[in-house]
A and B are shown apart, each in its own frame.
Chain A
Amino acid sequence: MCERNVEGEAMEQIGRALHSLCQPLTTLQCRLEMAELVCTLEAYRESVKLALAECGRLVEGVESMREILRASRVAD
């Protein structure tokens, strides 16, 4: 019973973390697509800079999911 609760809580947290990954992932994809559409050196440069910032947010999101998994294994 307790085990199921821990698992359910972890799933819920991972669901939230996945949801929060959607923002930077959308921004990243759209920025790269727009750079392709505009197709200038300036647009590419700006997109690479901003895409790296979004990658940073994605890495944070993945880290928080790892943390949730680690915590749920310890609880098991």
Chain B
Amino acid sequence: MLHSGLDMHVLIVEDDSALGAFLGRGLTLDGHEVALVADGEAALAAAERLRPELMILDLGLPLKDGLKVLTEMAERFRSTSVMVLTGRAEMEERVQCLELGADDVVLKPFSFHELRARLKALGRRRRRSEESVLRFGDVELDRAEHRVMQGDREVELTATEFSLLESLLRRRGERVCSRMELLREVWRAPAGMGTNIVEVYINYLRRKLGQTGLQESGHQCLIRTVRGAGYILVRGGLASSAAAWSEARLLEQVAG
């Protein structure tokens, strides 16, 4: 299957193990990073830990009902888009979901083609709504002006370095960015290509951002290596929240 270029971190909340496993596998093949949980309480715990871009939420869940999960998601995790899956045909329920904060509602049974298309549309809406200026710590990247500032100093970057920094900044220090993700996003490279080039460019960026390891201030934007997982932005050497995505991969759960 082809990657859309809009790959997201997706948390699937589905208590039907066959459907959950299938969705996980299909979306992984599509290039998304996927985690799977099977009840409402686990859904909120995983949202806290993983900070996904998208939650696919079944309504009929054990331990905590899907509508309650949806309400809490809207209150606590506004940056996560929620797509609700429901087998109940009542229009009132679909309206209620949208009013509670769902970004989309899909009625079961649905086609995988339709689900993929809706996911892409959600991804496009998310990208469009992202601000044109990305900030983290002392670094500010202006997409429209194609300019990077560190404090009051302008940082000269090549197009590749700019794109690499943009990919890291989009995660806002909330998620580890794997080398494979960076290869796809920055170099548009196919799976299987070596990742050495990522390390080389990360080092270029670190040098240009004056990250020597000797002069870290509390506010400075740093690129930290997470062993075996990738890179994450941190402020002044303080570790950020989510190094957990690589541990939460669905395929590991399915294999187990």
Contact = CB atoms under 8 A, between A and B. Distances in A.
A20 to B, nearest CB: 8
Interface SS of B by simple majority: helix
B88 to A, nearest CB: 6
Interface string B13-44: 00010110011011001000000000000000
B112 A25 contact: no
Contact of B16 (A23, A34, A53): A23
Contacts of A23: 16, 18-19, 87, 108
A24 B111 CA distance: 12
B109 to A, nearest CB: 4
B234 to A, nearest CB: 38
A33 B113 contact: yes
A30 B75 CA distance: 32
A38 B1 contact: yes
A53 B108 contact: no
Contacts of A31: 22
Nearest to B16: A23
A26 B29 CA distance: 18
A31 B109 CA distance: 12
Contacts of B19: 23, 26-27, 30
Contacts of B22: 27, 30-31, 34, 50
A76 B110 CA distance: 36
Contact of A27 (B18, B113, B115): B18
Interface in A2-48: 19-20, 22-27, 29-31, 33-34, 37-38
Contacts of A34: 22, 25-26, 29, 112
Of B16, B109, B110, B115, most A-chain CB atoms within 10 Å? B109
Interface string B170-198: 00000000000000000000000000000
A30 B23 contact: yes
Nearest to B90: A15
B158 to A, nearest CB: 37
Given A50-B18, A54-B18, A26 B109 contact: yes
Contacts of B110: 26, 29-30
Contacts of B111: 29-30, 33
Contacts of B23: 30
Contacts of B109: 22, 25-26, 29
A37 B1 contact: yes
Of A27, A29, A38, most B-chain CB atoms within 10 Å? A27
A10 to B, nearest CB: 18
Interface of A: 19-20, 22-27, 29-31, 33-34, 37-38, 50, 53-54
